[in-house]
Amino acid sequence: MSRSVSEIIASLGTGIHIDGQWRDAASGDTFEVDNPATGEVIATLANGGKADADAAIDVAAAKQAEWAAVPARERSEILRRAYELLTERAEELALLMTTEMGKPLAEARGEVAYGAEFFRWFAEEAVRIPGDARLSPDGKTRFVITHEPVGPCILITPWNFPMAMVSRKIGPAIAAGCTMVYKPAELTPLTSLYVLDVLREAGLPDGVLSVVCTTDAGSVVEPWIDSGKARKLSFTGSTPVGKLLLEQCSRGVLRTSMELGGNAPFIVCEDADLDVAVDAAMAAKMRNMGEACTAANRILVHRSVLPDFSAKLTERMSALNVGDGAADGTDVGPLVAGKAVDKVVELVDDAVDRGAEVLCGGSRPSGNGYFYPPTVLSGVSAESQIMTTEIFGPVAALVPFDTDDEAIEIANATEFGLVSYVMSESLDRGLSLSERLEAGMVGLNTGLVSNPAAPFGGIKQSGLGREGGLTGIQEFLETKYLAIPVR
Ligand code: NAP
């Protein structure tokens, strides 16, 4: 029989889990988690601080050697079981995620499938970590090259994809044999606690993954970085916080993986199939209510097709149902918090003040919850804040262009370089534009690039390293080489 969301929440632990035990915060503090569709409090969790952080990293360091010695096949099977359990319980986890984060249930189901897939993918990678043996060029030395777990890892994730952002770190860390300390986002900790329970049920030994929830991220993460016990930090979040953490990690020369912010251009050429382009724009813009690092932030449309494209896009955007993500028929849920709505209002007002035309939406509704309507803005000027700021909301900003060179110039005029999109029916042109775009990923005639089997990540200030794909596990491995003289 299926459980209600309050039963699911009641079954979760305190918010701090160290060495197989749920704990209260050493300070005794707690914090509340709310439902963004209603503003109601849905859970109260332990609010961790430095003392809890110290206890967690001590355990991660103490357990590292034992965990690294567990055979790869065993680690692989834990991941595989976790994938199967999550797939069986997808409906429960999707409901929990929607309740704490707001996305519509259909999208939450999609995220559970996507997030669980990282466990299956890395279950398969765990048993295929390569090595190498060869002779030196002068024939006098044998080289034996192995890959070892990097060591205890600090994991930090944002609230927008509360499951997938952490499973794509935990998956490769388990596959590589690293212990972990993890701080989930303050706004969406419950999904992480559910995933932790599933991993324990799948056989993850005590102490391999400790979790500390908190409202004061720095009080937990900085002690981990400065502990001298962590070897790596894997962060997903905004560029400003990423830069701060890079500075902190430089003190102990920790390895880092940084999945940071984006400002994706979405280019619609005049030879694009406009129906394909509108479908792709809807996916790239509206996934997660626009609260995605991969969201199409600037939609650049060739002037000759702008009237047709904007009419089709506006029709699709206007037809979306906004409401509680848990209700039937909802296409667009609330944003994650009141502050998120304030930021979108400010960006739209600024664009309108600078001459943009509102084709649909464009104003904050009254009532409970943190809602903002699907909005299309046309004729957005280059000076608008929306051109340089991640919108993180359901707002499509349309900008005309006349030549491919101009499109590339506008697209690359950003410090970010996560993902770009190109819509063209000409393969040569699509490939040429893709090659000229400064981005770690390009979607050619598609608005969706995320795939556990592909390397996800950005260039410029969008980050360092890649998650998923064949290289994802390398982020959690160190290379060691053994020199043996030939005698
Ligand atoms: P954020 O404010 O940078 O927070 C991300 C995480 O860092 C949260 O767990 C946060 O804790 C923590 N944090 C904040 N200040 C910290 C500090 N001083 N020391 C240590 N940790 C700290 O980002 P967000 O608003 O949650 O997420 C949105 C951002 O993430 C966007 O920029 C988006 O593009 C980016 N993102 C990137 C990717 C990618 O793969 N490239 C994927 C998803 C999202 P609290 O929750 O307690 O604040």
d(CA 250, CA 246): 6
| Shared domain check, 276 and 218 | no
What is the average pLDDT across 99-116?
A: 97
- Determine which residue's CA is closest to atom 40 belonging to ligand 1: 259
What is the average pLDDT across 83-102?
A: 97
d(CA 92, CA 105): 10
Q: Which atom of ligand 1 is nearest to the CA of 187?
A: 46
Answer whether residue 435 is part of any domain.
yes
Report helix, strand or coil for 301: strand
Cβ(30)–Cβ(47) below 8 Å: yes
What is the average pLDDT across 462-483?
A: 97
| Shared domain check, 359 and 235 | no
The total of other beta-carbon atoms located within 10 Å of residue 141's CB is 14
Could you tell me the two tokens for 72?
Answer: 């790869």
How many domains, the chain? 2
| Shared domain check, 190 and 118 | yes
117: pLDDT strictly greater than 90: yes
Could you tell me the two tokens for 181?
Answer: 């300390």
Nearest to 471 by CA among 128, 232, 73: 128
Nearest to 155 by CA among 165, 142, 140, 144: 165
| Shared domain check, 231 and 282 | no
335, β-bridge pairs: none
**What secondary structure letter does DSSP report for 201?**
H
What is the average pLDDT across 396-411?
A: 98
Supply the residues annotated as catalytic.
259, 293
Block residue for tokens 């024939």: 139
CA distances from 193 to 8, 141, 190, 211 (A): 11, 50, 5, 8
Pairing of strands 477-485, 141-149: antiparallel
Answer whether residue 131 is part of any domain.
yes
Q: Which atom of ligand 1 is nearest to the CA of 156?
A: 9
- Determine which residue's CA is closest to atom 39 belonging to ligand 1: 259
Element (H, E) at 61: helix 50-68
Answer whether residue 487 is part of any domain.
no
Spacing, Cα 239 to ligand 1 middle (Å): 8
Answer whether residue 381 is part of any domain.
yes
Please report which confidence band the pLDDT of residue 312 belongs to, taking 50, 70 and 90 as the band edges.
very high
What is the average pLDDT across 352-372?
A: 95
What is the average pLDDT across 445-455?
A: 98
Spacing, Cα 137 to ligand 1 middle (Å): 47
The total of other beta-carbon atoms located within 10 Å of residue 210's CB is 29
Answer whether residue 456 is part of any domain.
no
| Shared domain check, 405 and 286 | yes
| Shared domain check, 324 and 391 | yes
| Shared domain check, 198 and 163 | yes
Q: Looking at residue 11, what is its pLDDT? A: 96
Q: Looking at residue 1, what is its pLDDT? A: 60
Spacing, Cα 218 to ligand 1 middle (Å): 12
The total of other beta-carbon atoms located within 10 Å of residue 244's CB is 15
Q: Which atom of ligand 1 is nearest to the CA of 216?
A: 47
Cβ(449)–Cβ(294) below 8 Å: yes
| Shared domain check, 268 and 256 | no
d(CA 145, CA 334): 51
Answer whether residue 457 is part of any domain.
no
Q: In CATH, what number is assigned to the domain containing residue 96?
A: 3.40.605.10
Q: Is 236 in the pocket of ligand 1 (CB under 6 A)?
A: yes
Average pLDDT, the chain: 97
Is the alpha carbon torsion for 9, 15, 18, 24 positive or negative? negative
Answer whether residue 92 is part of any domain.
yes
| Shared domain check, 299 and 239 | no
| Shared domain check, 395 and 475 | no
Mutate to test the pocket of ligand 1, among 241, 260, 441, 456 (most ligand atoms within 8 A of CB): 241
Q: Give the rounded percent of residues in the chain with a pLDDT score beyond 90.
A: 99
Domain, as residue range, for 361: 264-451
Report helix, strand or coil for 393: coil
Residues 40-72 have pLDDT tens digits of 999 999 999 999 999 999 999 999 999 999 999
| Shared domain check, 368 and 384 | yes
232: pLDDT strictly greater than 90: yes
Q: 222: burial class by Cβ within 10 Å (0-12, 13-18, 19+)? A: middle
Q: In CATH, what number is assigned to the domain containing residue 372?
A: 3.40.309.10
Tally the residues of the chain.
487
Please name the residue ranges forming H helices in 161-289: 164-176, 189-201, 217-226, 239-252, 274-286
- Determine which residue's CA is closest to atom 42 belonging to ligand 1: 293
Nearest to 57 by CA among 249, 171, 172, 221: 221
Please report which confidence band the pLDDT of residue 2 belongs to, taking 50, 70 and 90 as the band edges.
confident
Q: Looking at residue 429, what is its pLDDT? A: 98
Spacing, Cα 175 to ligand 1 middle (Å): 25
Answer whether residue 21 is part of any domain.
yes
CA distances from 125 to 69, 369, 384 (A): 17, 42, 45
What is 395-455 written as a DSSP string? EEEEEEESSHHHHHHHHH-SSEESEEEEE-S-HHHHHHHHHHS-SSEEEES-S----TTS-
Name the phi and psi angles at 459, rounded to 5. -115, -175
| Shared domain check, 62 and 182 | yes
271: pLDDT strictly greater than 90: yes
